[in-house]
Structure 1
Amino acid sequence: MATTKHLSTDEIAIFKECFNEYDTDQGGNITVEEFARVMRKTNPSISDEEVSNIVGEVDLDGDGTINFDEFITMMTGQPYKSPEPATSISSPEDNEKETGGTPSEVVSSAAAVRGVSTVSAKLQRQRLANQIYKDAWMEIDPSLKGLITPIQLKQVAAKTGLAVTDLEIEEMADPANGGDVKIPYERFLDFAKRQEVDDIVSGYGE
């Protein structure tokens, strides 16, 4: 029988970023339309029926959308429940009545279409990548508080395996410098994390 997976704070934060990629209106739930929009970035041929079936398989509370707990269940392959007062937690029997299946059955069905191992591997890679980004940057700016040039940024990107365009470098530049394109560490790290989140989300469609 599947058991609830213990997730670290960092892992939950990563899943939240992924969740927000789907939840485009930031309403707290992923609708069928929002889910389809992201799925079709990597699988353009997926049908509306297939999308609806996937949402239905993980929609444990039966409201027609995917909430954050259901999203983590889908991505990890194990039932997940956020800490909350016991009085508000639905019983497994209630979930079975609402969805036509137990949480473990939902997990098993969802895992077949999503590739849990791929997503898990990418989550692990992101945790390792954060330190790699930091180490590469510190070779140029040991304090992590300075600014580096576009050429230096491309050197950092090459060392860390990131693909970056000139336009993306301009978007990372500190606006306080006016026309002088210099990039702070925080903006680079935000860019790198966005790329990793996009990679994780795309892994769902593989």
Structure 2
Amino acid sequence: MAFDNDSPHALPTGEDGQCPNEARRTFLKQSSLLTAMALAPTAAIKAAELKLEEKVAAAFEQVKVTLDINGKKHKLSIEPRTTLLDLLREQLHLTGTKKGCDYGQCGACTVHVDGQRVNSCLTLAVMQDGKEITTIEGLANGDKLHPMQEAFIKHDGFQCGYCTPGQIMSAVACIKEGHADSDDEIREFMSGNICRCGAYPNIVNAIKEVKNGGQRV
């Protein structure tokens, strides 16, 4: 390190002629510049991702559909990605249909579409345009319960009750499909509905009573 001049009070300088404070400022400026350069690509990527998300959102514009749900027509605007389950619960507030696994494995979300039972969590709402949909709320006739609902109450076919709407919808379909002629057949064609409380024997008895009673389902 050298001195700027011959004065004993002169500040020491480095080989580049800068004093320590100036050298420190230069170092900080260079470090800040390097940091900004290092962060710039990340910011650019984030910006690109944001633009991509905007493009994706624009691609999923809402689609108009007409659904006949429990005998009432609904004209709706929905995103193509919306499942029938989410439409029923979130937009129409028909919360009797339950969201269990959301993977089509538990049957809690079972509804009828044109008389056929489906897992509404795996069914896109836009694909049901113009179809007749029946949920647990539409099974009864006003204040009069459906025969299957009465049988479930009589035989204690539920405990916590969470899976019950889906169980009842599948039980009605099981009889309509002609798959309730024996205990084993009922168990086989109700196997897509899981009851974590283990009320299976009572559920089978309820289905058998409705089937053997010849009541219209």
Q: TM-score of the superposition, structure 2-length normalised?
A: 0.25
The structure with the greater share of residues assigned to helix is 1
Which is greater in Rg?
2
Greater relative contact order, per chain length (Cα 8 Å cut-off, separation 6+): 1
